[in-house]
């Protein structure tokens, strides 16, 4: 009996080995093409003109027009993150000197601003999750320790203010923040029971009001602002009562949920991670899809906000993240970067007149 079991196990192993080629089948999506190792690159413009990359020495370098310029110098193994926006006026750089020594998901990093395509960096402060707003005129970043969102005007440094979150229950919560105009901030928060909500902060009169309160703590809310429309994503987390919805508020001058309309609903918990700032005005996020065998796959999809039409854009089965790098939609997946929307525009760096 035992020998029979061993034979059966061996046969199963043999079949699995033979079929293993098909388990990690190749995707049809192109891989983001770069002139150097993608894992050194921190930001690349859509036309390939500007590339911010880091060296093992700890320096951040800007490469453009056959020229390299130092942006920031750091100690060895410093890790940089570079953030852009659709307005292409500013670049934000986050610096973590102890990245490989000090694993802390809430770590406060030094934040710098740089003009798009330039290398002169200016220190802004310390925080996490920097976001550019309003034509790159404002920046917000978060301090998870004092639970404050810091806002700073990038043109006039004296213009700054802070919003304290009500959240005390989730030490790892990061709010979603948008600025529809220079008088208003919309952000997500958690109450004392962990229920997610959307708050509005009026900058001038420093008043808060509640736009939406969630019904369960087993859900997350995401905000995405584009072209004067506010998209609100509500994605379940728990096993019970799974659901995902995306609503849009067309009039950002009067943001209330009464003015919202539902553009998407699912009975599964999607991962979310909404991106709305693409040129085609579509919405992109990571959706959960049930297969015929009952398994749940995750793919990046797009939604046309007007028609509600959903298109599946990836074939990775286990996609979990989607990022917008200067207008190109990219899916980081198992150490590779798949180009979901956009082209691999690589500048022709042939020397004029060259025969090569």
Among 63, 64, 99, 182, binds another protein (CB under 8 A): 99
Nearer to another protein, 170 or 184 (CB): 170
- Binding residues for another protein, rule CB under 8 A, total 66
Rounded to whole angstroms, the Cα distance separating 341 from 347 reads 18
The answer to the question of residue 104 lying near another protein (CB under 8 A) is yes
CB of 39 to another protein, least distance (A): 4
Taking CB under 8 A as the binding criterion, the range among 61-69, 223-231, 232-240, 305-313 that sits at the site for another protein is 232-240
Say if residues 110 and 130 touch (Cβ distance below 8 Å).
Answer: no
Q: What H or E segment, with its residue span, contains residue 189?
A: strand 184-190
* Burial class, 101, CB count within 10 angstroms (exposed 0-12 / middle 13-18 / buried 19+): exposed
31: contact with another protein by CB under 8 A:
no
Cβ(111)–Cβ(150) below 8 Å: no
DSSP code string of 196-247: EEEEEEETTTTEEEEEEE-S-SSEEEEEEEETTEEEEEEEE-SSSS--EEEE
Query: How many angstroms from the chain centroid is the CA of residue 206?
Result: 29
C-alpha neighbours within 13 Å on the C-beta side of residue 275? 26
101 contributes a contact to another protein by CB under 8 A: yes
Judged by CB under 8 A, which of 79, 160, 243, 277 binds another protein?
Answer: 79
Site for another protein in 311-330 (CB under 8 A): 317-318, 320-321, 323, 325, 330
Q: Closer to another protein by CB, 33 or 126: give it.
A: 126
81 interacts with another protein by CB under 8 A: yes
Residues that bind another protein in the complex, under the rule CB under 8 A: 13, 16, 38-39, 41-44, 56, 77, 79, 81-84, 98-108, 126, 129, 145-146, 169-174, 193-194, 217-218, 220, 235, 237-240, 269, 271-273, 286, 293-295, 317-318, 320-321, 323, 325, 330, 332-335, 337
């Amino acid at each position: 009996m035992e020998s029979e079991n061993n034979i059966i196990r061996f046969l199963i192993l043999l079949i699995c080995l033979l079929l293993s080629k098909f388990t990690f089948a190749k995707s049809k999506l192109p891989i983001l093409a770069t002139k150097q190792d993608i894992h050194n690159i921190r930001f690349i413009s859509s036309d390939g003109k500007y590339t911010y990359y880091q060296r093992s020495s700890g320096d951040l370098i800007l490469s453009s027009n056959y020229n390299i310029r130092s942006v920031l110098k750091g100690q060895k193994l410093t890790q940089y993150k570079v953030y852009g926006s659709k307005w292409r006026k500013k670049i934000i750089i986050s610096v973590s000197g102890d990245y490989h020594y000090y694993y802390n998901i809430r770590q406060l990093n030094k934040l710098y601003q740089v003009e798009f395509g330039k290398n002169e960096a200016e220190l802004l402060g310390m925080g996490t999750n920097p976001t550019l707003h309003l034509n790159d005129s404002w920046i917000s970043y978060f301090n998870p320790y004092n639970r404050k969102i810091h806002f700073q005007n990038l043109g006039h440094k004296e213009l700054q203010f802070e919003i304290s979150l009500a959240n005390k229950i989730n030490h790892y919560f990061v709010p979603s923040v948008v600025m529809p105009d220079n008088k208003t901030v919309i952000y997500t928060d958690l109450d004392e029971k962990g229920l997610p909500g959307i708050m509005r902060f009026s900058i001038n009169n420093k008043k808060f009001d509640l736009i939406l309160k969630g019904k369960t703590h087993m859900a997350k809310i995401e905000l995405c602002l584009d072209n004067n429309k506010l998209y609100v994503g509500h994605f379940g987390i728990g096993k019970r009562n799974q659901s995902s919805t995306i609503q849009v508020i067309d009039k950002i001058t009067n943001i209330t949920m009464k003015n919202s309309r539902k553009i998407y609903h699912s009975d599964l918990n999607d991962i979310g991670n909404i991106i709305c700032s693409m040129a085609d005005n579509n919405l992109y996020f990571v959706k959960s899809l049930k297969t015929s065998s009952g398994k749940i796959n995750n793919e990046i999809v797009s939604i046309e906000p007007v028609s509600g039409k959903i298109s599946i854009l990836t074939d990775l089965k286990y996609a979990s993240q989607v990022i917008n790098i200067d207008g190109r939609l990219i899916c980081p997946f198992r150490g590779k970067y798949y180009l979901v929307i956009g082209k691999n525009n690589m500048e022709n760096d042939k020397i004029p007149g060259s025969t090569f």
